[in-house]
Copies of this chain bind each other. A is one copy, B any other.
Amino acid sequence: MPSNRPKAGSPQAPSPAAARDDPPSPWRASRERLRDREVKREAVIRAAARAFNRKGYHNTSLDDIAAALEVTKPTVYYYVSNKEQLLFECFVAGIEGIRAAFRDARSLAVPARERLKAVLRQYGTAVASEFGWCMVRAEDQDLSPDMSAHIKAMKSEIDQGIRRLLREGIQDGSIHPCDPKITAFALAGALNWIAHWYRETQSMTGAEIAEAFIEVFESGLKPRPEISNEDPTCRNPKSSSSRPGAPRSGRSRASSRR
């Protein structure tokens, strides 16, 4: 599973991994071979993810993916068994980041709302990554029953994780009482939807968007009397200094979408 590191522009050098002059050990070559293979396999999956991202699963042929890698279709089949598996791998690559987020958050000694926020930040990052599309839009309809079942199970795991954090937050008082099921749907929906409109060339990163969303979800739409002092400025749009941490995205309204 390719962990989603940034890795700039052009996918992989045409010439495979320049030769180094380490002292040759008897097994080194074959190990090198295997590593190369894994690298190439990941490149295939990343190329698929980018193609799916741009043109959609069904509008992407394996010839397209092969062409993006400057190879031919059978070469792609040399690394993956079929198109469906390609989608599946992309999905797994995307969701792995979220699962990691839950693992990380579990060890945090803070109120549940903070743990939830940490998860959501990474969630947003994952959805805005190049695997976001695949993670979000991998449809059971496009997959064989067993793959579909796997994916459903993972999605459900994420969903249950969010619900659990919400329940814990309600318990420890850090989260306003609410229906965990519905709230989890709302949270996940807002974040998942990022994959529909986000493009890498955007001014905000996925994490920044997640941060801004969290701000929205935390404070709510109702005008909120500033917690500490009761009176203040609830009529003034620009006060709002409820939390200093949020980037808040300077020019808020000027840009006319997309």
A residues with CB within 8 A of B: 54-59, 113, 116, 139, 141-142, 152, 156, 159-160, 163, 167, 169-171, 173-183, 185-194, 196-197, 209, 212-213, 215-225, 227, 234-240, 248-249, 252-253, 255-258
Q: In chain B, what residue has the closest Cβ to A220?
A: B220
Known: A221-B217, A224-B224, A235-B173. A252 touches B190 (CB 8 A): no
The reply to whether B219 and A220 form a contact with Cβ atoms under 8 Å apart is yes
The reply to whether B113 and A253 form a contact with Cβ atoms under 8 Å apart is no
The reply to whether A177 and B237 form a contact with Cβ atoms under 8 Å apart is yes
A-B contact pairs, 23 of them (CB 8 A): A159-B257, A160-B257, A163-B253, A169-B221, A170-B237, A176-B220, A177-B239, A178-B215, A178-B221, A178-B237, A179-B212, A182-B212, A182-B213, A182-B249, A185-B194, A185-B197, A185-B213, A189-B192, A192-B193, A217-B221, A218-B222, A220-B220, A222-B227
